[in-house]
Amino acid sequence: MSIDIQGLINPVVRDIPPSGIRKFFDIAAEMDDAISLGVGEPDFVTPWHIRDEGIYSLEKGMTYYTSNSGLKELRFELSKYMKRRFSLDYDPLTQLLITVGGSEAIDLCIRSVICNGDEVLIPEPSFVCYSPITRLAGGVPVPIVTKAENNFKLTAEELKAAITPKTRVLVLPFPNNPTGAIMNEEDLWEIAEVLRGTNIIVLSDEIYAELTYGDKKHFSIAQIPDMYERTVLVSGFSKAYAMTGWRLGYACGHPDLIKAMTKVHQFAIMSAPTTAQYAAIEALRNGDDDIEMMKNEYDMRRRVIVQGFNDMGLECFEPKGAFYAFPSIKSTGLTSNDFCERCLREKKVAVIPGTAFGQSGEGFIRCSYAYSIDSINEALSRIEAFVKTLK
Amino acid sequence: MPELSYDKKIEKVLELLHKDCRKSLEEMATMLDIPMTEVADIIDKLEKDGVIIGYGARINWDKAYSQNTVTAYIELRVTPQRNKGFDRIAERIYQFPEVKAINLMSGSYDFGITVEGKNIKEVSLFVSEHLAPMESIVGTATHFVLKRYKYDGVICCKPSKDEREVISL
């Protein structure tokens, strides 16, 4: 009798459901002329000057580990960047940690804070990682359903209703994947009012901060003076600088929290990729114009896709951040899953069902606009043709 | 979104047209979040003012079926004419249909011109029979284009495949 491998898998891991995002890609991959609005990463290549610095660091032989916390030079640049772009002060030596993507920073934060039975509040729909990471840490994910009529913002009332004595962490995933919702300064002051006097850490996932559209700049809850201390701000280079494959992110926060997270990081990861760190120094020093260029490009596509969905009768709320549109497909009478499956089989367009981001995503689909305008137009006309067949 | 300034609107319209002059007024209006009539007015003005001097496709001639075109970049050294400077000479040179572009340059030569022809012989004959004999021209240096990698901001031989892989994001 051979060993029972399946029986040895941690039940928490075994019970994590398969990703609802991958499923449609796998079908699309088998089709010749399928077109996708599924991918959640920039279509831009990392700007050349940034790639060039990475290459140059290799030429110079900078192939060693960096310190656990990340290159000092990078942390100093990051500190200046946080000040310049978001008016936030972080001490580069004690308050910043360089991680393998924003994802690792999320994992570190939750693992450093959560014990058995602790509750993590997760606004949904949202990025898929918070809940499995919480479970793996022995915690209990508590979804808070955000609503279309509130522009998918988290409201103070919803938050208040979800807090229990066991609540340890509130995840604030804004700008949001998949809805494109943002929380502006006034919204966050209301959230702060609820959090005051509690023992709740805010895990603010601001990976899309630089992709905030409209006349107001991104505002972080850490900018509210008495929220600064309790907030772990997590972000990375992937979305702002189109550096997804470099796998580089960071966490900013209270020295004690960063110290705890660094402990976990040093045993799990050691240090983030060295080449990526050198490239990132260049990104922070000379990449502001790149951010602006890419943001303008996304912004134009954003208007085209939102207009397109509204024109074909799929009501689409205006996303103010990230690069996703989240139109409602309720008028078609189909479930999100059926809509996506049929759209792919009948018109060969891959979009992601809202339910991949939590049950509250039912009735919506996520469409990324990190695609060329031609692809977006082609996808829109196919989706429109599909919607017409339903009438 | 804050209202764009007029200059900014002009800049944006030009950028969009330069990238793709077949873009519809409607789409440009949506992309820039300004009324379609305003886009049309801006383009009208740009045409009238000679800012937009034409619309055309960027063609990678290397890939055009049965199309034989060679391109040469020619450096010209000239003697400027009294009172007319370089302009009079430029006017004479750009009349030739073979001349696709001409620029007055700083540095070791005066004009940089781009000439197209069916083959190397045709371009060489043009230089030796028409350009070189002009009285104000004191020297020429002809460089033939061997391969075009990037043209007018567009990479010519870039694979259009989406390299992004499947990931749960």
Residue of A25, A128, A300 with shortest CB distance to B31 = A300
Do residues A258 and A97 touch, judged by C-beta distance below 8 A?
Answer: yes
Domain boundaries, chain A: 5-46+290-389, 48-286
Q: Where in chain B is the domain with CATH 1.10.10?
A: 6-48
What residues of B are in contact with residue A39 (Cβ under 8 Å)? 162, 164, 167, 169
Across the interface, whether the CB atoms of A303 and B31 are under 8 A apart is answered yes
Question: What value does the mean pLDDT take over residues B53-79?
Answer: 88
Looking at the predicted complex, does its ipTM rise above 0.85? no
pLDDT of residue A244: 97
pLDDT at A261 over 90: yes
Which of the pair, A1 or A183, is modelled with greater confidence?
Answer: A183
The tokens 């950028």 sit on which residue?
B15
Task: Name the closest residue on chain B to residue A178, using Cα atoms.
Answer: B169
Q: Is B2 on the interface with A (CB under 8 A)?
A: yes
Residue of A22, A214, A303 with shortest CB distance to B166 = A22
Query: If one looks up domain B6-48 in CATH, what number appears?
Result: 1.10.10
pLDDT of residue B85: 86
The CATH class, in words, for A5-46+290-389 is: alpha beta
Report the share of chain B in percent with pLDDT over 90: 73
Cβ-Cβ contacts under 8 Å between A and B: the total is 43
Q: Is B31 on the interface with A (CB under 8 A)?
A: yes
Which of the pair, B56 or B167, is modelled with greater confidence?
Answer: B56
pLDDT of residue A23: 73
Looking at every residue in chain A, the average pLDDT score rounds to 96
Tell whether the torsion through CA atoms of A132, A362, A373 and A288 is positive or negative: negative
User: Residue B69 and residue B115: Cα distance in Å, rounded?
Assistant: 10
User: Residue B145 and residue B60: Cα distance in Å, rounded?
Assistant: 13
The tokens 């979009």 sit on which residue?
A351
Structure tokens at B154: 């567009």
What residues of B are in contact with residue A295 (Cβ under 8 Å)? none
Query: Which of A27, A300, A372, A375 is the best substitution to test chain B (most B C-beta atoms within 10 A)?
Result: A300
Across the interface, whether the CB atoms of A214 and B169 are under 8 A apart is answered no
A318: pLDDT confidence band, cut at 50, 70 and 90?
very high
Query: If one looks up domain A48-286 in CATH, what number appears?
Result: 3.40.640.10
Closest CA to A85 of A231, A283, A269: A283
B1: pLDDT confidence band, cut at 50, 70 and 90?
low
pLDDT of residue A63: 97
Task: Name the closest residue on chain B to residue A217, using Cα atoms.
Answer: B1
Q: Is B108 on the interface with A (CB under 8 A)?
A: no
What residues of A are in contact with residue B27 (Cβ under 8 Å)? 304, 373, 377
E-strand spans in chain B?
70-78, 99-104, 111-117, 137-144, 150-151, 154-155
Do residues A109 and A316 touch, judged by C-beta distance below 8 A?
Answer: no
Q: Cβ contacts of residue B161 below 8 Å, gap of 6+?
A: none
B88: pLDDT confidence band, cut at 50, 70 and 90?
very high
pLDDT at A381 over 90: yes
Phi, psi for residue A283 in degrees, rounded to 5: -60, -45
B142: pLDDT confidence band, cut at 50, 70 and 90?
very high
pLDDT at A31 over 90: no
B61: pLDDT confidence band, cut at 50, 70 and 90?
confident
Report in angstroms the alpha-carbon separations of A325 from A27, A86, A330, A369. 22, 25, 15, 7
**Cβ atoms within 10 Å, residue A31:** 13
Task: Name the closest residue on chain B to residue A303, using Cα atoms.
Answer: B31
Query: If one looks up domain B61-151 in CATH, what number appears?
Result: 3.30.70.920
Do residues A372 and A36 touch, judged by C-beta distance below 8 A?
Answer: no
pLDDT of residue B81: 79
Beta bridge partners of B142: B74
Residues in chain A whose beta carbon is closer than 8 A to a beta carbon of chain B? 19, 21-22, 25-26, 29, 36, 39-41, 43, 127-128, 177, 213-215, 300-301, 303-304, 307, 373, 377
The tokens 């009172």 sit on which residue?
B83
Q: pLDDT tens, B27-46? A: 999 999 999 999 999 999 99
